[in-house]
Amino acid sequence: MASAIAASGSTVYVTGYITNDASNTNVVAFGSTSLPGVTVARGVDAFVAKLADAGSSSTWSWAVAGGGTSSDYATSIAVSGTGVYIAGYYTNTSANATAVVFSGTSLPGFSSAVGPDIFLAKYTDAGSSAGTAWP
């Protein structure tokens, strides 16, 4: 589900959340990019994707997902130059401190009980791919 979009020139970025599982049986595709299942048991994971607007047509350039063993939602997006910023919330505990992952970077669990924590992540748009600058 898309929760926010941002445009920069002829590029449109979208963020939100997807439902997938670890075996990737529910493939979530953005053009030729399929997002793998990040969590287990049909969890909800945050995503950000880039769409190139060519006027009468468009193509997906890239898409990335992040999340953990519970529900993770991206709710807003901003773009500045090649920086793509998404914000949202995730559920994690201190006992599960490395389970929420955005492009290989783990977010710590701050709550002692299961409850939502906020995140802000920066991706760098490299044209046909995106890299994580920081979560």
Structure-block tokens of residue 66? 């992040």
**Closest among 1, 12, 2 to 84, alpha carbons compared:** 12
On whether the CB atoms of residues 32 and 60 are closer than 8 A, the answer is: yes
pLDDT in tens, 26-82: 678 899 888 876 555 557 889 999 999 999 999 999 999 887 777 889 999 999 999
Structure-block tokens of residue 100? 């929420």
pLDDT in tens, 34-45: 887 655 555 788
Q: Which residue has the tokens 């709710």?
A: 75
Q: What is the mean pLDDT of the chain?
A: 83
- DSSP codes joined into one string, 100-121: EEETTEEEPP--SSSEEEEEEE
Domain range list for the chain: 2-134
